[in-house]
């Protein structure tokens, strides 16, 4: 029982194949024509027996001829092809041929066929909706697809036509401007009006752009060379049977990723990735100043720059995996050294220098203000030290002399406080020069004079006695 079902299925399929290959519209039209032919033969009431009798026995009258003299098929043949019947059928056949010629002319005009024979073959192919057993297929590649369309109207408009997709490529078809299917490598037959939209290369692609000009944050142009290696999202690991696996959705997105350029030409899917990376790099350069870009970047910094640019075009999800856009997966990305453009105008240079000068002046002004604040704080602190030294000297003099403090003692204490303050200031500043030495000598001299004055005041005075002559 398990083997009978597959055999029955195969037999049913074999029986259905001839019916599936039939051109049913054409069969219906032929049946209608035959029905109309039989109808007009009955309408004319032609007696086929009399027609053959008049040809076979011209001397006999119609009444003398039996009704079954000739076979049935001869009588039917005479009735169908009698001139009175054909006068009704011939216009239909002629109209049929005129309609076919009108269809050929319409095909030639609509689809820009080079001649009527090509248009007639195209119309006949569309009516049959099948290809010949010995018909050679077209081998289509991305670089010869346009040429193949020029050579074959079936590729330019739509099948049925056999095609071969080489290994390492995949194709996308559509019907009535709508996506139909993705063709893997191999032999395929395009259906009626199935249009081959494009062929996608599954192998890694490398695109470069030299002397890419970008503007820094100051508006100064810089140049560099970039390179990108990418491929269609495989969706699976390669194997010996499938050395170039592919994701059908990725192939479909790549086939519809083309855009019309300014010159009217249509770009393919492999032109878009390098343009997106170029735009992301330009945006990154615009966020950085020129001096930072011209500085020598180590390997780690250069890698971080490339990683930031790639993440702008192909961001990562929460698990760290790339989010594939337009069916394209990046493999490698290269960025050369950023160099200023030779055609930089003097205005850009003056603007950049003036901006740098303003920043330097602002920094210098901030340093000057900070230094003035420090000097003012130092001066106030010095005044406080002087006052503190004087107060301390007076306090010490009061303690030494008790409640009686004479003027010379105060002066001597003041000079001693000034000397201590001077020594302390000179030791901290480490700036003792000739003026400071002279000041120190003068303070020592004043101190000696005050000490001598003190000695003289402490000697007992001689009292004068006027009564004694000596």
Determine the Cα–Cα distance for residues 137 and 19; give it in Å rounded to an integer. Answer: 25
Residue 16 has pLDDT above 50, yes or no: yes
* Residue 3 pLDDT grade (very low, low, confident, very high; cuts 50, 70, 90): very low
**Rounded mean pLDDT of 119-138?**
80
The pLDDT of residue 465 is above 90:
no
Is pLDDT of 134 > 70?
yes
Beta bridge partners of 232: 328
Q: Which helix (H) or strand (E) holds 165?
A: strand 161-165
d(CA 418, CA 225): 74
The answer to whether 338 and 222 are in contact (CB under 8 A) is yes
> How does pLDDT run across 373-388, given as a tens digit for each residue?
777 667 666 656 666 6
328-354: average pLDDT: 74
DSSP, residue by residue, 372-440: HHHHHHHHHHHHHHHHHHHHHHHHHHHHHHTT---HHHHHHHHHHHHHHHHHHHHHHHT---HHHHHHH
pLDDT at 431 over 60: no
User: Do residues 227 and 239 lie in contact, with contact meaning Cβ atoms separated by under 8 Å?
Assistant: no
Instruction: Give the position of tokens 């997105």.
Output: 253
Name the residue among 413, 33, 331, 352 with its Cα closest to residue 219: 352
CATH 3.30.479.30 fits 205-340, yes or no: yes
**pLDDT, tens digit, for every residue of 89-98?**
888 888 888 9
**For 186, what's the count of Cα atoms within 13 Å in the CB-facing half-sphere?**
7
pLDDT single digits (tens) 107-118: 888 888 888 888
Q: What is the mean pLDDT of the chain?
A: 76
Q: Is the peptide bond before 160 cis (omega within 30 degrees of 0)?
A: yes
Predicted local confidence at residue 171, as pLDDT: 94
> Which tens digit of pLDDT belongs to each residue from 239-262?
888 888 888 999 998 888 876 666
Cβ(202)–Cβ(232) below 8 Å: yes
Instruction: Compute the average pLDDT of residues 324-339.
Output: 85
Query: What average pLDDT does this structure show over 121-137?
Result: 79
Where in the chain are the domains? 15-119, 132-201, 205-340, 349-428+436-451
């Amino acid at each position: 029982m398990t083997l009978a079902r597959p055999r029955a299925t195969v037999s049913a399929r074999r029986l259905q194949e001839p019916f599936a290959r039939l051109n049913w519209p054409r069969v219906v039209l032929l049946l209608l024509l035959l029905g109309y032919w039989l109808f007009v033969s009955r309408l004319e009431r032609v007696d086929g027996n009399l027609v053959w009798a008049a040809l076979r026995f011209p001397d006999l009258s119609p009444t003398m001829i039996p009704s079954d003299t000739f076979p049935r098929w001869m009588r039917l043949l005479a009735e169908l092809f009698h001139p009175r019947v054909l006068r009704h059928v011939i216009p239909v056949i002629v109209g049929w041929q005129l309609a076919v010629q009108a269809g050929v002319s319409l095909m030639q005009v609509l689809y820009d066929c080079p001649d009527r024979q090509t248009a007639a073959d195209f119309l006949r192919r569309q009516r049959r909706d099948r290809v010949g057993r010995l018909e050679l297929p077209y081998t289509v590649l991305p670089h010869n697809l346009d040429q193949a369309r020029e050579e074959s109207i079936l590729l330019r408009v739509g099948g049925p036509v056999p095609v071969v997709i080489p290994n390492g490529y995949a194709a996308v078809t559509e019907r009535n401007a709508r996506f139909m299917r993705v063709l893997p490598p191999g032999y395929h037959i395009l259906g009626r009006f199935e249009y081959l939209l494009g062929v996608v290369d599954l192998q890694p692609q490398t695109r470069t752009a030299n002397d890419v000009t970008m503007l820094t944050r100051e508006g100064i142009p810089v140049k560099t060379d970039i390179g990108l290696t990418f491929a269609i999202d495989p969706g699976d690991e390669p194997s010996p049977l499938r050395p170039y696996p592919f994701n059908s959705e990725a192939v479909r997105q790549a086939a519809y990723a083309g855009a019309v350029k300014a010159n009217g030409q249509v770009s393919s899917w492999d032109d878009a990735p390098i343009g997106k990376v170029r735009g992301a790099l330009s945006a990154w350069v615009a966020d950085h100043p020129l001096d930072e870009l011209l500085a020598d970047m180590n390997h780690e910094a250069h890698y971080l720059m490339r990683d930031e640019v790639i993440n702008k075009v192909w961001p990562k999800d929460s698990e760290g995996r790339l989010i594939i856009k337009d069916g394209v997966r990046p493999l490698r990305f290269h960025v050369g050294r950023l160099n200023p453009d030779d055609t930089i105008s003097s205005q850009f240079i003056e603007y950049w220098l003036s901006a740098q000068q303003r920043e330097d002046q602002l920094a210098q002004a901030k340093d000057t203000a900070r230094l003035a604040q420090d000097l003012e704080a130092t001066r106030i602190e010095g005044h406080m030290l002087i006052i503190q030294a004087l107060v301390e000297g007076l306090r010490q003099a009061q303690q030494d002399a008790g409640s009686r403090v004479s003027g010379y003692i105060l002066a001597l204490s003041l000079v001693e406080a000034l000397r201590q303050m001077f020594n302390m200031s000179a030791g901290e500043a480490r700036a003792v020069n000739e003026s400071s030495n002279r000041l120190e000598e003068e303070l020592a001299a004043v101190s000696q004079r005050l000490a001598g004055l003190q000695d003289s005041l402490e000697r007992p005075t001689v009292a004068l006695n006027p009564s004694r002559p000596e």
